[in-house]
Amino acid sequence: MDGIAAQLPALLGVLVGAVGTIVATSLADRSRWRRNQTVRWDERRLDAYAEFARALKEAHTIASRLIGGYLDRDAELAALAEADFRHTLSWENVLLLGDGPTVTAARAWRDSVWAVERLARDGPNRDDAWDGSNRDDAWDGSNRDELPGLLHQANEARDAFYTAARNGLGVGGGSVAQAELLVSRLNLPTAPPAGASADR
């Protein structure tokens, strides 16, 4: 009996060491699993954001070409319909995987591109074919005045989306804003502040 009592502290030490090893290993495995899950979902989020951005930028580009009147209108409208379909599919992934601020920014960008698309789909204010030769009188003054502001709003919304996505993914680096750069390069007017009077 004295021999067992003498060995008891050593046995307790082995038992505590084994339990400690099991707990430490379990915690390390759980932490590793969480890190792997975070990386996995961040990769999927990045893919969803990139696909959404590509699809929306494609729709914006086609709408801009339509407004410019440089190509076949019917072909461009068909291309815009296809781009809108791809955008709709990619939007579902953003809703499913995106964080709150990024989804909000994505919605604002989507809505601003839709405004440009609506202007493009309205097309010329006449019934004859739009072959580009009537580009000067195809848009009435209100449309012409509205376009630069809509394009600037879309560019600003795109910048906000990229900023939110980068913040949500923990991507460092400097600003990726392009809206002000485009305004200065193309000498476009900026959009009026929200709530500003449109008196002319």
47, amino acid identity: D
Neighbour count for residue 158 (Cβ, 10 Å):
24
Q: Is the dihedral of CA 184, 186, 191, 197 positive or negative?
A: positive
CA distance 20 to 64: 65
CATH at residue 87:
1.20.120
DSSP SS3 for 191: coil
Structural domains of the chain, count: 1
Percent of the chain topping pLDDT 90 = 40
Q: Comparing 69 with 171, which gets the higher pLDDT?
A: 171
Residue 94 clears pLDDT 50, i.e. is over it: yes
Range of the domain at 55: 49-186
> Given pLDDT bands bounded at 50, 70 and 90, which one contains residue 198?
very low
Contact 56, 114 (CB under 8 A): no
CB 41 within 8 A of CB 168: no
Greatest CA separation found in the chain?
110
- The arithmetic mean of pLDDT across residues 96-112, rounded, is 96
Report if residue 23 sits inside a domain: no
Q: What is the pLDDT of residue 33?
A: 67
156 in a domain, yes or no?
Answer: yes
pTM, two decimals, is 0.66
Q: Closest by alpha carbon to 106, among 152, 45, 56?
A: 56
- Average pLDDT score, the chain: 78
Is 138 domain-assigned? yes
CA distance 48 to 90: 7
